[in-house]
A and B are shown apart, each in its own frame.
Chain A
Amino acid sequence: MTFLNDHQINRLMSQFKRRLKFKNFSCLLVLLSFFLGQTLQAQDHKDEHKHSTVTTQSAPARTLSSTHAFHEKSWAQLLKNGPRPAAYLFTTTYCSTCPAAFEVLHQAVKEKGRPVPLMAVMMDASGAKALRHASHFKGMTKMYAFEGFEPEIRQSVDPAWPNVTPYVVLIDAKGHLQKVIGPPPPEMLRRWLP
């Protein structure tokens, strides 16, 4: 059996404290990075939920301050990582039948009382010019705007889409898609949000 003198005990204690501090700091950093990652990742969904909550309360969509770029790779990314369930309505600045179709989606979500993200995708304008139309899409969570060659982006969404708007894509909780030109009929809405 070895006995430690006071000096050795003090040295061991200080080493132990240093290690303890370092481990605590490491854990803190790991936790911080995880927390930051989660917070930032959830940011958009948090926004969507915020808007969606607003949606169910029928607040105007004019709180949106910017459009989000939608290019030829966006659709694949949204299908993979985007929210579910959700709805996307593709529109143009001159599509006067589009707000009525969006209202059908808005009503369906209100009836369910669930925070479901509703997105409008503007095909012929972006920024302030596109956002002029935000007030016509009550309950909109987010507005995207085409950026690039319109037929190419359209084909990335659906090669068979003949450039008629409103073009609506409903994505259910399991990721199943339903596509329709014009306002979605009731049976389609029921399948979307059972």
Chain B
Amino acid sequence: MRFLKQSWCAWMVFSVLVLGMATSLSANAQSKPMKHAKRIQLATGAALGPDGRLWVVGLNEQGQMFTQSSPAQALGQWTAPVILNTQQDEIAAEGESRPKLAFGPNGWAVVTYTQPLPKPYTGFVRMLRSADGGQTFSAPFTVHQDRQEITHRFESILFDAQGNLHTLWIDKRDMPPKGAEPKYIGAAIYGNVSKDGGATFGPDYKLADHSCECCRIAMSNTPDGKVAAVWRHVFGEQTRDHGFAVLPGASSVASSSAQGQSKPPVRSTFDDWQINACPHHGPGLAANTSQTGFHMVWFGIRKQDGQDVPGVRYARLNANGEPLLSSVKALPDARAEHADVLVHKQRVVVVWRSSEGSTSTLKAWISDNEGQSFSVKALGQTQGPNDHPRLVQRAEKMLVVWRDTKEIKVYDVSQ
């Protein structure tokens, strides 16, 4: 009996001890440093080659940069990935900052990416070039002349109709020393032009002062063979709308660089979003192919009836980049993110990602009357991490490329 009493007491004590330890450990586990799962960087660039092959560039699970291609007749049937030599560069491949691929004349192809540097918010724009249509690539090299450990990030590339390669990026070389007045608002858009597919480059030139710091830059070919760009811009002290400019040709770059001046950009949106923050949500731009002007999509927050109304919106711009205000429409999805736009003749396709919990849906808003009216369509769905949709076009061929952790899917939205 005495033994039972003692053993009961012992069990009580033991239980209390275990309970106390368990409680404390469980409470502790919640905030203890944990080993993080390997983060997969899914941001992927895509482009159509001159022969209609679809190419992608991205990072594999080991963080190595690869290209893959898919024949025009069997889109989505990918060749084996080819690993590119990036010389152990760290590569930004997440969200708005993705590796990119572009094809020019003479078998030229280039791959670009941002290499984050050790100091936060800094980076170099790096490029690999090919003279055999993407079969082989050079070692990486830095695109800009300025080599300070500062921001040179969020690059965009496009060949114009003459085969000149235009590169734009966000650059902070104009920032005054810390504490100096007056303060420089935002960052700047800088660029350069290569006449030989990335073998050599003209001088760095400044396209605009006071861009936003961390949104992608959208570029589009114009009907007259030039390149236009639109980016999130800080107007005044902290109004984050969008600036538009047609890029200078290769011959006029030298003079604008020598002056070190930039013209104020055309304002292409009027949300009047007053915010000192980073939206991480760049615009999309596509030239109208049947008449002058452009189609644009962007994210912003605007006041409506005294309320802040966030949303992705669509508008047509005139040839100067000014919005046709009557054409502004909100996308029919409050969860729309990272939309982009494609245009061929009467057909306008706006594509975006819409996430609810772990489910993401790829949606398209399609117009066959130049944006007068649209109908919405769900293209696909996936669970868990996935990239933003990437749009590619060559003439009437319009494709959406969407990568998740398992595969890279292709959707044809041409018809």
Contacts and interface: CB of A to CB of B under 8 A. Distances in A.
A30 B9 CA distance: 11
Contact of B33 (A67, A93, A160): A67
B356 to A, nearest CB: 8
Interface string B1-31: 0000010011011101101110111011011
Nearest to B31: A44
A125 interface: yes
B160 interface: no
A33 interface: yes
Contacts of A162: 279, 281, 299, 301, 310
A40 B276 contact: no
Interface string A162-184: 11111000000000000001110
A40 to B, nearest CB: 4
Which residue, B30, B95, B214, B358, has most C-beta atoms of chain A within 10 A?
B30
Contacts of B337: 151, 163
A149 B387 CA distance: 11
A163 B10 CA distance: 55
Interface string B148-192: 000101000000000000000000000000000000000000000
B306 interface: no
A183 B276 CA distance: 8
B16 A29 contact: yes
Nearest to B9: A26
A2 interface: no
Interface stretch (B34-42, B72-80, B135-143): B34-42
A170 to B, nearest CB: 16
A94 B278 CA distance: 9
Given A22-B6, A26-B9, A132-B120, A77 B36 contact: no
A146 B357 CA distance: 15
Contacts of A149: 355, 358, 384-386
A36 B21 CA distance: 7
B276 A97 contact: yes
B280 interface: yes
B194 interface: no
Contacts of B357: 152, 155
A92 B11 CA distance: 51
A36 B214 contact: no
A81 B275 CA distance: 32
Interface string B89-114: 00000110100000000000000000
Interface string A111-144: 0000000000000111100001100100000100
A103 interface: no
A161 to B, nearest CB: 9
Contacts, number: 144
B94 A124 contact: yes
Contact of A33 (B20, B39, B116): B20
Contact of A69 (B9, B36, B94, B301): B36
A30 B19 CA distance: 11
Nearest to B277: A182
A127 B31 CA distance: 15
B236 interface: no
B270 interface: no
B263 interface: no
Which residue, A36, A40, A145, has most C-beta atoms of chain B within 10 A?
A40
Nearest to A27: B13
Contacts of A93: 116, 120-121
Given A66-B33, A136-B120, A151-B355, A44 B28 contact: yes
A131 to B, nearest CB: 10
A135 to B, nearest CB: 8
Contact of A95 (B12, B25, B278): B278
Contacts of B10: 26
A134 to B, nearest CB: 9
B360 interface: yes
B21 A163 contact: no
A15 to B, nearest CB: 8
A22 B275 CA distance: 68
Contact of A165 (B12, B23, B278): B278
Contact of A97 (B6, B94, B277, B386): B277
A43 B299 CA distance: 43
18 contacts: A26-B13, A30-B13, A32-B17, A37-B24, A40-B25, A92-B278, A101-B276, A126-B36, A142-B31, A147-B37, A149-B358, A149-B385, A151-B355, A152-B357, A163-B337, A164-B277, A164-B278, A164-B279
Question: What are the 8 A-B residue pairs with the smallest beta carbon separation, nearest first?
Answer: A33-B20, A66-B33, A40-B24, A151-B355, A37-B24, A37-B20, A33-B17, A126-B36
